Structure 1
Amino acid sequence: MLIAFDSTQQALRAEMLLEYADIEIDICPTPKQITAGCALSIHFSEADLVAVQGVIEQEKVEIRGIYKQVADQYEAVIM
């Protein structure tokens, strides 16, 4: 799973909040298949989707969307 952002500030804020919530994440470049205003994205396990959504909603983090990789493409799960 991957979260894409429109701003670097929101990506770094999400990184801090998700790490504080003890959710395993990795910062990575935003795949070129996803149009976003920020070059940073966050990878996380699909098992953590509900927890990640909870943090994003509770803390009002602005995201472009949450995507799932299917083969070589990314499909939007939440936008």
Structure 2
Amino acid sequence: MPAHILKDLLIRIGLALGAGVLISIVPVALRNGRYAPSTFRRVFLFTLAGAALIGFFIYSYFLVAPHFASSTHEPAPVVYPLPPAIP
């Protein structure tokens, strides 16, 4: 396997693992925040869950955005030369 393909493959696997870790923080933080005895800890865990969820959406947008065209590029109109003037 060529080195550049292996590098791209490993980068994609690493990015997918990063997204998985980021999204797995949300249910754990929500579950622990629900039963936390301290109000400060509860607020911290709910804030952590919200930040992880927002971070996951931003992260997934940056992973997916290069695969979609950002705007429709219309080709320039074709300009034909004027026909010669008939005397």
| Higher helix content, 1 or 2 | 2
Larger Rg: 2
Answer 1 or 2: higher relative contact order, Cα 8 Å, separation at least 6: 1
| Higher strand content, 1 or 2 | 1
TM-score, normalization by structure 2: 0.26
